[in-house]
Amino acid sequence: MHIVVCIKQVPDSAQIRVHPVTNTIMRQGVPAIVNPYDLFSLEEALRLKDKYGGHVTVISMGPPQAEGALKKCIAFGADAAILVTDRAFAGADTLATSFALASAIEQIEKDMKVDMVFAGKQTIDGDTAQVGPGIAKRLDMQLLTYVSKIDELDLAKGEIKVQRRAEGGVQVLQTRLPCLITMLEGTNEMRFATMENMFRAARYPVNFWNKDTAGIVDVSKIGLKGSPTLVSKVFAPKPNTKPAEIIDTEGHEPRDLALTLLSKLFTQHPKLRDSIVKQAA
Amino acid sequence: MAEKFDAIVVGAGPSGNAAAYTLAKAGMKVLQLERGEYPGSKNVQGAILYADALEKIIPDFRDDAPLERHIIEQRMWVLDDESYIGTHYRSDDFNKPPYNRYTIIRAQFDKWFSEKVQEAGAMLICETTVSDLLMDGKRVIGVQTDRLGGEIYADIVILADGVNSLLATKAGFHPEIEPKNVALAVKEIHFMPQETVEARFNVQGDAGVVIEMAGKITQGMMGTGFLYTNKESLTIGVGCMLSDLKKQKISPYQLLEQMKAHPSIAPILEGGEMKEYTAHLIPEGGYKAIPQVFGDGWMIVGDAAMFVNAMHREGSNLAMTSGCFAAETVIELADKQKPFTAKNLARYREKLDASFVIKDLKKYKNMPDVFHANSQFFTTYPEMLNQAAHKMLTVDGVDKKTKEKQIMANFKHRRSLFGLMGDALKLWRAFE
Ligand SMILES: Cc1cc2nc3c(=O)[nH]c(=O)nc-3n(C[C@H](O)[C@H](O)[C@H](O)COP(=O)(O)OP(=O)(O)OC[C@H]3O[C@@H](n4cnc5c(N)ncnc54)[C@H](O)[C@@H]3O)c2cc1C
Ligand SMILES: Cc1cc2nc3c(=O)[nH]c(=O)nc-3n(C[C@H](O)[C@H](O)[C@H](O)COP(=O)(O)OP(=O)(O)OC[C@H]3O[C@@H](n4cnc5c(N)ncnc54)[C@H](O)[C@@H]3O)c2cc1C
């Protein structure tokens, strides 16, 4: 069994600062991490490998520094890592990113048949949740998003059964391989790498692929040229500086206090009352 | 099969990086283990970088090291509650390259230093804590990490694990660090536009200013405060001996809050945005608290060995120099194919003794005791000095001779003649 896991290196949002003067995001000095959502997918892939045997390849498109994120995946137990990196990819939106990654996965497939692709549910920097589905569509794979549990995998029959979180409940879905899965966060916990794998990662030479190695011929589909999304403006929302109003509770009945609170709320949000009345009816 | 290296360095702070870099440059097979997510992720420093120590290891560090500002002016402030009295020393000489001291942001600096170490050929493994030393009798033969299959062997293990070296304590090389030998420091970084920093300190380009502070900001406890200029931020911090903080039941955070509100400090920070709050221990026991720093198969460098000159706020330079000495000792012995026995590693201590590291610590060896026993240096004196200055500078029709008499009377009233002479003697002896 061969699983490809897509990972993206992202700035650690917990440590990102907005420049207090210019209001732009200060990326400098912010440590880069593996997109946290991708780790749930990687761990799930590694668990399948532990159970059924097989090979896990991690792949990322990004700048040369993303090598660090891939090495981390090797430390967790991935077998091989490929970094698709080329100036021609700069400025890619989700359409161009999924095109480049799909093309690279087709190249990987030439060496070893791919049974499953895992991607994160979304990233913490772009947050679109589009790249995974984009790859699935391009590779004509079954798409299983928001997966909370893999119930069964029958490699002989080429079938998989999963639980998927949906609004109001859980769907149990069964489909054919190859498929693309995005895992829901919190569904598993990334393992603590062994010392042996830490050494393997420290010595592992990540494979660097450019657009040609990734099998891309049509350059109008990658990078800025292949990206119809336009970012017209980026800004930090103004902090809410309105001070909180403190209501004195001394010597008041709870009922009166609740009424005061409600009347204050309704004066500030006139539509709220109507909507509550409507819902109650 | 377990891995085996020529040398294992525990920790990727300045001391560990200096040791690993020097060893790797000499062609040795080096493994460096760091518990943080990346080098510098857990490190706290003011921070002043002293060029000399680093220059001896990486002569062209100025080309690409992340440096904030070079220091052209040093201020020493003695504060009471409303005022400060002090000295400012600014020299155009300090504004001519090669510069002697720089402010740095440790997280960035450590990362840069670590890249140099890896380029030199050492292997770095992060997010891995050394939990124990592997021993063969009294000889250290490797380390045990917190990971599955974590035994790693080496001919020599260099402990560069910082203040409160749990490893050395666990191995029985020295007892646990005492609260009277360690200071707890807190610091914050306040961001503001570069122009504001430059205007407030009257500097241009990459020049910067350092303010060292003592007095009532530590509320009678043994300690100091500092304020440094970075490119577009200011670092402010205060530290006190752990034993004092414990006794007075004051949190260092409260101290820092009060210090920031001081009328001479608040306007400097005005409008800045606080972005980082960190706390860290500083080993300040001085010469008398230095543990045994070498033995069969092991050496201790940097903060783990108490190499901090608290009087001059020097630490990272002692760390780098000791790391370098330890590495040189290993290289010399390896060249002569001699084993790393305690007897042979004694050369490390000889190198330290002959250098500023031990000489400076020795010079101030009584300082910690004097300050511990005489809190007046942090309370009464700052007040007396500030009051004296206030009196002399207020023009109110009283003649200067009378003012001098009043000042002297105040001194004697507050501290008695014997007290004053005794304090002078104590200080003189400690500095001698
Ligand atoms: C408003 C906005 C502006 C942007 N501006 C720019 C810009 O100017 N220049 C620029 O270069 N980029 C820009 N981007 C980034 C770029 O469009 C996206 O980062 C990229 O296409 C991936 O989209 P995403 O981060 O939303 O991933 P998602 O679709 O949320 O990711 C889902 C999963 O897909 C996989 N995945 C995503 N990206 C990669 C990757 N690169 N390699 C491997 N796997 C991956 C991961 O498994 C991930 O968990 C911008 C993004 C946004 C939202
Ligand atoms: C607030 C403050 C201000 C200071 N200002 C200055 C200044 O202006 N100038 C100056 O020169 N010095 C200053 N110092 C002192 C200076 O920071 C230290 O002397 C210096 O960092 C010591 O370097 P080191 O490598 O010995 O230890 P550290 O820098 O503490 O590095 C030790 C490293 O070892 C790692 N480690 C610890 N235990 C383990 C383990 N078991 N396994 C794996 N890794 C481990 C830690 O994560 C850490 O990265 C200041 C200190 C403080 C706290």
B3 touches chain A (CB under 8 A): yes
User: What does the pLDDT read at residue A237?
Assistant: 76
CB-based contact A57:A1 (threshold 8 Å): no
Question: Does residue A28 have a pLDDT over 70?
Answer: no
Total count of domains within chain B = 3
A280 touches chain B (CB under 8 A): no
CB-based contact A195:B147 (threshold 8 Å): yes
Q: Which residues of A63-91 are buried (b: 16+ CB within 10 A; e: fewer)?
A: eeebbbbbbbbbbbbbbbbbbbbbebbee
Q: pTM value?
A: 0.89
Q: Nearest 5°: phi and psi at B136? A: -120, 95
Q: Are residues B197 and B166 in the same domain?
A: no
- Ligand 1: which of A93, A117, A209 to mutate, judged by most atoms within 8 Å of the beta carbon? A93
Query: For residue B275, what pLDDT band results from cuts at 50, 70 and 90?
Result: confident
**List of chain B residues whose C-beta atoms are within 8 Å of the C-beta of residue A21:** 191-193, 232
Q: Nearest by CB to A194, which of B148, B192, B272?
A: B148
Q: Are residues B242 and B218 in the same domain?
A: yes
CATH number for the domain harbouring residue B261: 3.30.9.90
Q: Are residues B61 and B124 in the same domain?
A: yes
Q: pLDDT digit string (tens) for B348-396?
A: 999 999 999 999 999 999 888 888 888 888 888 888 888 999 998 999 9
Looking at residue A30, what DSSP letter applies? P
3-state secondary structure at position B265: coil
Q: pLDDT digit string (tens) for B237-269?
A: 999 999 999 999 998 899 999 999 999 999 999
A225-234, B38-47, B163-172: least confident range: B38-47
User: What does the pLDDT read at residue B80?
Assistant: 92
Domain-ending residue, one of B251, B283, B315: B283
Q: pLDDT digit string (tens) for B92-134?
A: 999 999 999 999 999 889 999 999 999 999 999 999 999 999 9
B224 within some domain: yes
As given in the structure block, the two tokens for residue B282 are 């500083």
Ligand 2 atom with least separation from CA of B317:
11
User: What does the pLDDT read at residue B432?
Assistant: 67
Ligand 2 midpoint to CA B269 (Å): 26
User: What does the pLDDT read at residue A23?
Assistant: 63
A199 touches chain B (CB under 8 A): yes
Q: Are residues B186 and B170 in the same domain?
A: no
Q: Are residues B168 and B307 in the same domain?
A: yes
Q: pLDDT digit string (tens) for A187-233?
A: 999 999 999 999 999 999 999 999 999 999 999 999 999 999 988 87
| A219–chain B nearest CA distance, Å | 35
DSSP string of B354-394, one letter each residue: TSHHHHHHHHTTTHHHHHHH-GGGGTHHHHHHHHHHHHHH-
Domain-ending residue, one of B283, B303, B321: B283
Mean pLDDT, to the nearest integer, of B137-151? Answer: 97
User: What does the pLDDT read at residue A16?
Assistant: 73
Q: Nearest by CB to B125, which of A17, A19, A202?
A: A202
Q: pLDDT digit string (tens) for A224-239?
A: 999 999 888 777 777 7
B82 within some domain: no
Closest residue by CA, ligand 1 atom 6: A91
Mean pLDDT, to the nearest integer, of A55-75? Answer: 97
Does residue B177 have its Cβ closer than 6 Å to ligand 2?
no
**List of chain A residues whose C-beta atoms are within 8 Å of the C-beta of residue B147:** 192-195, 198
- Ligand 1: which of A131, A181, A208, A222 to mutate, judged by most atoms within 8 Å of the beta carbon? A131
**List of chain A residues whose C-beta atoms are within 8 Å of the C-beta of residue B38:** 31
Q: pLDDT digit string (tens) for B230-239?
A: 999 999 999 9
Which H helix or E strand runs over B106?
A: helix B106-119
Please, what is the average pLDDT of chain B? 93
CA atoms within 13 A on the CB side of A30: 18
Question: What CATH number is given for A2-221 in this structure?
Answer: 3.40.50.620
Q: CB A156: neighbour CB atoms within 10 A?
A: 5
Query: For residue A61, what pLDDT band results from cuts at 50, 70 and 90?
Result: very high
Q: Are residues B108 and B230 in the same domain?
A: no
Q: Are residues B306 and B277 in the same domain?
A: no
Query: For residue A27, what pLDDT band results from cuts at 50, 70 and 90?
Result: low
Asked whether the beta carbons of residue A21 and residue B108 sit closer than 8 angstroms, the reply is: no
Ligand 1 atom with least separation from CA of A5:
47
Q: Are residues B143 and B167 in the same domain?
A: yes
User: What does the pLDDT read at residue A29?
Assistant: 66
Q: Are residues B269 and B191 in the same domain?
A: yes
User: What does the pLDDT read at residue A250?
Assistant: 87
Q: Are residues B247 and B279 in the same domain?
A: yes
B326 within some domain: yes
Mean pLDDT, to the nearest integer, of A123-135? Answer: 95
B335 within some domain: yes
Asked whether the beta carbons of residue B128 and residue A198 sit closer than 8 angstroms, the reply is: yes
B209 within some domain: yes
Which residue of A lies nearest to B152 if distances are taken between CA atoms? A195
Q: Are residues B188 and B245 in the same domain?
A: yes
Query: For residue B45, what pLDDT band results from cuts at 50, 70 and 90?
Result: low
Q: Are residues B143 and B168 in the same domain?
A: yes
B131 touches chain A (CB under 8 A): no
As given in the structure block, the two tokens for residue B273 are 């945005």
Please, what is the average pLDDT of chain A? 92
Does residue B68 have its Cβ closer than 6 Å to ligand 2?
no
CB-based contact B226:B44 (threshold 8 Å): no
Asked whether the beta carbons of residue B192 and residue A17 sit closer than 8 angstroms, the reply is: no
- In chain A, where are the structural domains located? 2-221, 243-281
Question: Does residue A97 have a pLDDT over 70?
Answer: yes
User: What does the pLDDT read at residue A20?
Assistant: 59
Please state the ipTM of this predicted complex. 0.89
- Please give the residue range of the domain that contains residue B329: 4-67+104-174+291-354
User: What does the pLDDT read at residue B415?
Assistant: 85
* Ligand number, closest to the Cα atom of B14: 2
Closest residue by CA, ligand 2 atom 29: B13
∠ Cα A164 A49 A8 (to 5°):
65
Question: Does residue B160 have a pLDDT over 70?
Answer: yes
Ligand 2 midpoint to CA B171 (Å): 21
**CA pair distance A247, A12, nearest whole angstrom:** 39
